[in-house]
A = this chain, B = another copy of it.
Amino acid sequence: MNPDIEFAVWSGERAQRVVAVMEQHLPPIDDPPLALHAAMRYAALGGGKRVRALLAYASGELAGADDDRVDAVAAAVELIHAYSLVHDDLPCMDDDVLRRGKPTVHIAFGEATALLAGDALQCLAFEVVARAPDASPRIALLAHAAGSRGMAGGQALDLQAVGNASGLEDVERMHRLKTGALIHAAVRLGAACGAKAHDVDALDRYAADVGLAFQIVDDVLDVEGTAQSLGKTAGKDAAQQKPTYVSLLGVEGARQRIEALRKNAHADLVDFGTAARRLHEIADWIALRSS
């Protein structure tokens, strides 16, 4: 089979798989409070690339873990990601009405329910991991990644940056937290599910490169994409005067940076050999995506 198609099959299967795992852990639609549970399911199951889950499965594979050992952490990182999007879209944050081509959660369910749905999705993420045996260090890692020295901290730096002139270093620090921390957790948590010895530093470098590439692609797509292709409002960064890789480096410079990070990510994996195959493919997929 063509390697691209083979990867599409592998990633499609795992994306479906993590949705099924989340579905299994999410409260049933007919369980009260109905609006909250409907909003949680809408937020978590309403599509998305499932990048973080794929990273967890791929680094689990690297460490010799079967998919079923990775399921809980894969679902957890997706649940944390889903909650962060719900809160990000709220009027007091990005004030966005469109996500994945559909009304954002607060548009569909109201602000208060969206706030609570995000809170509860965060909680569910921990619960899913905690129900696995001997999972405590993993929860600590996940909690750290999602907290004020990780994702929530990056969002706070992002708020500070609106309307303020920031340099490349500031933007990079912000993105290392805002997007990078959870991507890093996904890679580390997946690997932690396996018993095979592996070079954690190399994985950390890989996660940093891929996380940054992911964000720069986002910045480029925000400039070049349309709401149609992105499934979310385009041109938001410029409208909010947010410093981005594109505003700092230009589109061409940003593209060069993405390409360099993609090559670095491959280099980070070189000692793992074929065990890192999926991580390798994911790096390409992230760097070369057009939506």
Residues of chain A whose beta carbon lies under 8 Å from any beta carbon of chain B: 27, 31-33, 35-37, 40, 83-84, 87, 90-93, 110-113, 115-120, 122-124, 126-127, 129-137, 139-140, 142-144, 146-149, 152-153, 155-157, 159-160
Contacts and interface: CB of A to CB of B under 8 A. Distances in A.
Given A130-B136, A139-B126, A27 B148 contact: yes
A122 B124 contact: no
Contacts of A92: 90-91, 110-112, 115
Given A35-B160, A115-B115, A159-B112, A152 B136 contact: no
A37 B83 CA distance: 20
Contacts of A27: 148-149
Across chains A and B, which 9 residue pairs bring their CB atoms closest together, nearest first? A123-B147, A92-B111, A120-B148, A127-B143, A36-B156, A130-B140, A33-B156, A130-B139, A120-B152
A129 B142 CA distance: 12
Please tell me how many copies of the chain the complex holds. Answer: 2
Given A130-B143, A134-B136, A116 B33 contact: no
B112 A93 contact: yes
A214 to B, nearest CB: 21
20 contacts: A32-B157, A33-B157, A35-B156, A37-B148, A87-B116, A90-B115, A92-B110, A116-B159, A119-B122, A119-B146, A123-B143, A123-B144, A123-B148, A124-B148, A126-B140, A126-B142, A127-B143, A130-B137, A131-B136, A135-B136
A220 to B, nearest CB: 25
